[in-house]
Amino acid sequence: MVKKIEDLDFYELLNLGLDATPGEIEGAYLLAVATYHQEAMASRGVLSLEERGVILRRIEEAFETLADPDKRKTYDELILPQRPESQQRAYFRKSTEKLEIEDATEVQKFWARVSSSMLPVGLRRGRGRHRQHKNGKGWLNLQKDRHYYGEYLKSVREQRGLTLEEISQRAKISLALLAALEEEDEESLPQGKDRVRMLQAYARALGLNSANGGK
């Protein structure tokens, strides 16, 4: 479907392949600016002021991220799972005990863990859908096997040099609840959808785009 300009990833925005060289990135950036800047003939009369602002901002963001090798690496990890090229078919699983996805990136694993422990069987995406567990013994076993997501969120937060206060402000979640999330304090946390929503807000505040899991 038609994506909003803001939702195009940086490579799509600049018409680049994932393996673009620095030279290609710079060329694409210059062409994009030449196409969309205020006086450009190619876009005169086509975009509203707002639309032009949106795309120019996005172009700057794109160049800033892709031109810096470290930022680019982080960014690649985020968007790669969403790309059609990286959608792999699930391995046939003999055992349906664990829900760990061995080859997924950190972000994918994170959401898989969250969804596996949060949502009822039917809503779970991808692997594990064939499970026949309902609430009950199997569910409990599941809880035992799952890996903690609080730890992961905390590590990403620290990596980015953000404090709980900052996240609390950005995600609009109380400090206490945030701390509980990181510690995975089951008693203090809401269940089901509310918790997922909180996790989504936290992740977004961290700059982790919600990948294919979650909702």
Partner 1 sequence: MTEETYIQNTLLTVGGGKGGTGKSFLAAGLAIELGARSRNAVAVGAVLGGPNLPTLLGVRENGRDLGDFFRNRAPRLEDVLTETSYPGLKLIKGSENALFLANLHQAKKLKLIRQIKSLPARNVIIDLGTGSAFNTLDLFVIGQPGIVVVTPDPTSVENTYFFLKSCAVRILKLYIRYYKIPGLEEKIAGELEDGVSTLRTFLTVLASNDGATGRILQAALNSFRPCLVVNKARGDKDHLLGRSIVDVVRRYFLIELELLGTLPYDERVLWSLKKHIPFTREYPESEISLRIRDMAEKLAKSQPGDAGVGEAQRPV
One of 2, 92, 95, 161 touching partner 1 (CB under 8 A): 2
- What's the burial of 23, exposed, middle or buried (CB within 10 Å: 0-12/13-18/19+)? exposed
Specify the residue, 3 or 94, whose C-beta has the smaller distance to partner 1. Answer: 3
One of 32, 118, 156, 171 touching partner 1 (CB under 8 A): 32
Cα–Cα dist 59/31, whole Å: 10
Closest CA to 135 of 154, 122, 153, 148: 122
One of 17, 23, 44, 70 touching partner 1 (CB under 8 A): 44
How far lies 5's CA from each of 41, 46, 163, 173, in Å?
20, 14, 31, 29
> What one-character DSSP code corresponds to residue 86?
G
- Residue 47 as a binder of partner 1 (CB under 8 A): the answer is yes
Specify the residue, 1 or 135, whose C-beta has the smaller distance to partner 1. Answer: 1
Question: Smallest distance, Å, CB 7 to partner 1?
Answer: 10
| Strand stretches in the chain, DSSP E | none
- Binding-site residue total for partner 1 (CB under 8 A)? 21
One of 24, 26, 40, 54 touching partner 1 (CB under 8 A): 40
Specify the residue, 46 or 67, whose C-beta has the smaller distance to partner 1. Answer: 46
Task: From 26-34, 169-177, 180-188, 200-208, give the range in contact with partner 1 by CB under 8 A.
Answer: 26-34
Q: Do residues 63 and 29 touch, judged by C-beta distance below 8 A?
A: yes
- What's the burial of 19, exposed, middle or buried (CB within 10 Å: 0-12/13-18/19+)? exposed
What does the binding site for partner 1 look like in residue numbers (CB under 8 A)? Answer: 1-5, 15, 31-32, 34-36, 40-47, 51, 55
